[in-house]
Amino acid sequence: MKWIDEAIFYQVYPQSFKDSNGDGIGDFGGIVSKLDYIRNTGFNAIWINPCFESPFLDAGYDITDYYKTAERYGTINDLRGLFDEVHKRDMHVILDLVPGHTSYLHPWFLKSMSRDKNDCTDRYVWTDYVGRDVENVTGVTGWLRGISDRNGACAVNYKACQPALNFGFGKVTDEYGWQQSPADAGPRANIEEMKKIMSFWLDLGCDGFRVDMAGSLVKNDDEQYETIKIWDEINGYIHEKYPEAVTISEWGEPSRALRGGFDADFLLSFGPSHYMDLFRNDNMLDFKSGTHFFSKRGKGDLTNFKAAYEGFYEQAKKGGMICIPSGNHDIPRMAPQMDEDEIKLAFVFLMTFAGAPFVYYGDEIGMRYIEKLPSVEGGYHRTGARTPMQWDKSKNCGFSDGKSENLYLPVDPDENRPDVASQIEDNTSIYNTVRKLIKLRKQYKCLGNKGDLKFLEVSAESYPLVYERSYGGESMVVIINPCERCVECDLGDIGEIIYQIGGEPRTEAEKIKVMPCSAFIAKYKNKAV
């Protein structure tokens, strides 16, 4: 059994988590100072967003050296010390790997711009001619032209500052020879480099990687067969050399990612998973319409989510798991799309569902998305989900002793903003709800990462959400009704209720009436379904 089988992850966005030296930017020392908080809440694994050398035009997802830490976070020895402190607490830590592109200031890219052939000429996706028509190349979001004496255009993966590393083409469609096979020298050099990078950090003490844009490697690879093959090779190498290492993909299609040898894949705000149906409105920046399932308005529908998940789940049972996050650095937070009651019910779902759960820093206290902030480090609409962690009511919310004007981002200006210290003291807070639910998840294996999952269709309408979790002869049923009306379901014979939030359910005429804005977890005798 790998450690991920029991992992409950906490995502740390390092520049906004905790500043230990007063410069207004979070750092490794700040993370170390809050490890006991993370552990005491119940989390036993941490994902840290990119912390490598970068000009930070895209918050560190534009790397200039995969083998160095960014100076603002601390030295490589500081990071090694962080690994040690994590392990002392019987926890694990994964880093964020960005394999598909680098910064346009990376030495490899600068060397690839030369008109003279060299060992980096084929490390990036360059055309043969600066004026070549390169429309409709799948996996490419744009092209850099006229930036050097090299006669060609270079593909970018997302932003203009992120030239795409060359992992080849699944289908060669040009007649001029610039599209290469994954077996050619440039792509092979990049594949081997990724193995070296991952080995370097694993040797220093990290426990694995979250892999950014994992499905982006090979271009013109519509079914992603070649990308899957590359990851199967890389993951095979890593898992053989480091049996305990974990790799988790940002792919959003578990049926593909798990075939590529990843231990897990995320459900994402894009792709076919219908993750957005859970906690966010159809428009992510719409905070009022209440179209998601966990809204009190009761207008949500998880039909598509369930269908997609069940398909992915069949693949996951063959090996690997599916991870559902509360949110992340790329999308608006649950609040203010959800109020406190709705967020608590969302956490009932997250902490009783299959796969390894991920909680974005601050979601455990209901931190809000801050609207209309100026973009910082390429955040744009995402910036409002990256504000400093709110530790207490002291200066800068306890995030930094530095001047407020020097903070990476301003703190939530609302005087009633949530904070960790206050919520720890309030037994009814979101924080203590999360803590209790994590404790239950650890207590009952059927509620954990590897317990079996089955949706139970026991209602004539879309509410409540009901599913069974089972493991080793132990079985629980989870019933969640986020909407403001009472709903009923036919569950048959259930046993002891081990957890309840909101009104107490009632049994009438052989049906269970589930109170508005409530949820409960019960031992399940499985007789009626």
pTM: 0.97
What is the predicted pLDDT for the residue at 527?
A: 42
Cβ neighbours around 403 below 10 Å, total: 12
pLDDT digits (tens, 9 = 90+) for 185-200: 999 999 999 999 999 9
Q: Is 36 exposed, middle or buried (0-12, 13-18, 19+ CB in 10 A)?
A: exposed
- As a whole number, the mean pLDDT across the chain is 95
pLDDT of residue 168: 97
DSSP 8-class letter at 397: G
Cα separations in angstroms, 155 against 103, 129, 209, 314: 12, 13, 25, 36
Share of the chain above pLDDT 90, in %: 89
Least confident stretch, 33-42, 66-75, 495-504? 495-504
Say if CB 343 and CB 362 are below 8 A apart: no
> Hey, what long-range contacts does 421-430 have (CB within 8 A, 24 or more apart)?
421/391, 421/392, 421/393, 422/392, 422/393, 423/365, 429/365, 430/340, 430/343, 430/344, 430/347, 430/364, 430/365, 430/366
The boundaries of every CATH 2.60.40.1180 domain in the chain are 451-524
pLDDT at 528: 40
Residue 16 has pLDDT above 70, yes or no: yes
Which architecture, in CATH terms, is 451-524? Sandwich (2.60)
Per-residue pLDDT, 353:
98
Q: In which band, very low, low, confident or very high, does the pLDDT at 508 lie, cut at 50, 70 and 90?
A: confident
What pLDDT shows up at residue 529? 37
Write the pLDDT tens digit of every residue in 193-220: 999 999 999 999 999 999 999 999 999 9
Compute the average pLDDT of residues 277-290: 90
| Per-residue pLDDT at 476 exceeds 80 | yes
Q: Which of 306, 328, 296 is nearest to 486 (CA)?
A: 296
List pLDDT tens digits, range 368-395: 999 999 999 999 999 999 999 999 999 9
Calpha distance 63→423 (Å, rounded) = 37
pLDDT for position 291: 94
Average pLDDT over residues 50-65: 98
Query: For domain 7-92+267-441, which CATH number applies: 1.10.3720.10, 3.20.20.80, 3.40.50.300, 3.20.20.110?
Result: 3.20.20.80
Q: How confident is the model at residue 243 (pLDDT cuts 50, 70, 90)?
A: very high
pLDDT of residue 461: 87
